Amino acid sequence: MKAYNSPKDAAVFGIDIGKNVFHVVGLDAVGAPIQKVTFRRETLLQFFARAAPVLVGMEACPGSQWLARKLVTLGHTVRIVPAQFVKPYVKSNKNDIIDAEAIAEAVTRPTMRFVAIRTPEQVDLQALHRVRDRMIAQRTRLISQMRAFCLEYGIAIHQGAGKFKADMPRILADESNDLTPGMRDILSEVLDELADIERRIARVNREIEAVAARSDTARRLMSIPGIGPLTATALLAAAGSGRQFRKARDLAAWLGLVPREYSTGGKTTLLGISKRGNKYLRRMMIHGARSCVVHLDRSRDRLGPWLNALEARMHRNKVTVALAAKIARIVWVVMTKAGASYERRDPAFG
């Protein structure tokens, strides 16, 4: 390795990650840059294998989790920073070296927030959820397309995947409607494609349910109202142990389920929910909460009186989001306390 590429005695290194080229900047104890180097992927780990254990920062992006795990095995302390928190530290013009310097500066801030390093099992589980979400969206597109085709021939089909799958074969078999032979062939092919996607979705669902059945934490999460195998495993994939959050509200805020705030001049202004963080996970939490609002036996669950009081003064959609935020807080307790689960105690009256 060339002398100028040998690691210097830096207090922190910042890495700007690329597909094949990585820019590294080292800062000393007072934050002054003392080393600026560029590596190919195959030489980056050689550089850090030669470096003394040190704090290494990088921006959250594809590849950051893999690199973080590799650097941890080399003895370094790794911190991953969300991209929006790095931007304020980029000075003047922007290039890869300036980005790496900004990352190195950002990770040293005592109030900075970091992305947890995920295990390969978490990455695999999250990928499974993302593949399923893509197939669900593809199924919806196919159904919408076929409904639109049928409307062109004066045939209206009920909304909803279940009713559509029941109606479509009957419509194709009905020779008295206005569908042309060509359109019948097209709809039959798209219906076969839909059936194939349904089979793939069912297979992924079985894999996710098997993961949930094997995980003690997932089984305890499923004791919480509104949380099933999908949400439980999505929480495990995204949040891990949950111990990166100091308190229950931090998990709810990470999911974007707390109010946005725009306060100034001593006047507090709370807006709608922030909608930050994992959109997929927030959507699943809200769907689960909506199911609870409709189906929860409020006479046999301590959440019942609380929900009744909320519904007496606000719209049901607000009640649903408020319940999702409360469920997120319960999730934090279950994830961070060994053996904890939700106890469906009867509500206290009088």
> What pLDDT was estimated at residue 342?
87
What is the β-pairing status of strands 33-40 and 21-27? antiparallel
Predicted confidence at residue 349, as pLDDT, reads: 55
> Are 233 and 208 in a shared domain?
no
Residue 2 inside a domain? The answer is: no
**Do 313 and 222 fall within a single domain?**
yes
Q: Is the same domain home to 141 and 93?
A: no
132 in a structural domain: yes
Please provide residue 188's backbone torsions phi and psi, each rounded to the nearest 5 degrees: -65, -40
Residue 69 placed within a domain: yes
Q: Looking at residue 4, what is its pLDDT?
A: 53
Phi and psi of 26, rounded to 5°?
A: -105, 135
Q: Work out how many domains the chain is built from and give that number.
A: 3
Same domain, 332 and 228: yes
Question: Residue-wise pLDDT tens for the chain (350 aa)?
Answer: 455 578 898 999 999 998 899 999 999 999 999 999 999 988 999 999 999 999 999 999 989 999 999 999 999 999 999 999 999 999 888 899 999 999 999 999 999 999 999 999 999 999 999 999 999 999 999 999 999 999 999 999 988 888 898 999 999 999 899 999 999 999 999 999 999 999 999 999 999 999 999 999 999 999 999 999 999 999 999 998 888 888 999 999 999 998 888 888 888 888 888 888 889 999 999 999 999 999 988 888 889 899 999 999 999 999 999 999 999 999 999 999 988 888 877 666 54
Q: Decide if 204 is inside a domain.
A: yes
> What pLDDT is stored for residue 213 in this prediction?
95
Please tell me whether residues 202 and 225 are part of one structural domain.
no
Residue-averaged pLDDT of the chain: 91
Q: Could you say which of 180, 214, 248 is where a domain stops?
A: 214
One domain for residues 283 and 230: yes
**Residue 131 and residue 136: Cα distance in Å, rounded?**
9
Same domain, 249 and 158: no
- Residue 220 and residue 330 share a domain: yes
Q: For 280, how many CA atoms within 13 A lie in the half-sphere containing its CB?
A: 20
In angstroms, how far is the first alpha carbon of the chain from the final one? 77
4 within some domain? no
pLDDT of the residue at 348: 61
Structural domain span for residue 237? 216-336
Within this chain, do residues 203 and 138 fall inside the same structural domain, yes or no?
Answer: yes
Tokens of 35: 């080393």
Are 177 and 138 members of one domain?
yes
Residue that finishes a domain, picked among 214, 247, 277: 214
Write down the pLDDT at residue 350: 47
Determine the Cα–Cα distance for residues 33 and 55; give it in Å rounded to an integer: 14
User: Is residue 54 domain-resident?
Assistant: yes
Tell whether 95 and 154 lie within a shared domain. no
- Examine the fold and report which residue of 184, 214, 244 is the final residue of a domain before the chain moves on: 214
